[in-house]
Amino acid sequence: MRNTNLFYKLAMKIKIKIQETGKEQFQKLFMINRFPSGRSGKVVYLRPEYHERLLRIVQLSREEKITLYSYIDNIMEHHFREFGEEITAYFNERNKPIL
């Protein structure tokens, strides 16, 4: 019985460490303010419920003063980095070369 409790405690510590690492990774990937404002960017329309969620997430980072523009840019950068090959393959399958 005692070994079971020890293994359970160890498993819980590992789980907590993994969760903390996930949180740290999220913050390093997305909660970085790379651009002071989105004035040089383009207008994009979002669903109202997504806009509200994104604003609430950004407002949690008041110390870092992350802009909504920067947060969305970080999300898009991550998306293209993660799925760049798949996106390129999808595009190439559906578009024939001009020449």
Domain residue limits, the chain? 65-98
Q: What is the pTM of this model?
A: 0.63
Residue 17: band (very low, low, confident or very high) from pLDDT cuts 50, 70, 90? low
- Closest residue by Cα to residue 77 from 25, 12, 30, 19: 30
Residue 48: band (very low, low, confident or very high) from pLDDT cuts 50, 70, 90? very high
66 vs 7, more confident:
66
The mean per-residue pLDDT over the stretch 65-75 comes to 87
Q: Average pLDDT, whole number, for the chain? A: 77
The Cα 90–Cα 92 span in angstroms is 6
Most confidently predicted of 7-11, 51-55, 93-97: 51-55
- Structural contact between residues 32 and 66, judged by C-beta atoms closer than 8 angstroms: yes
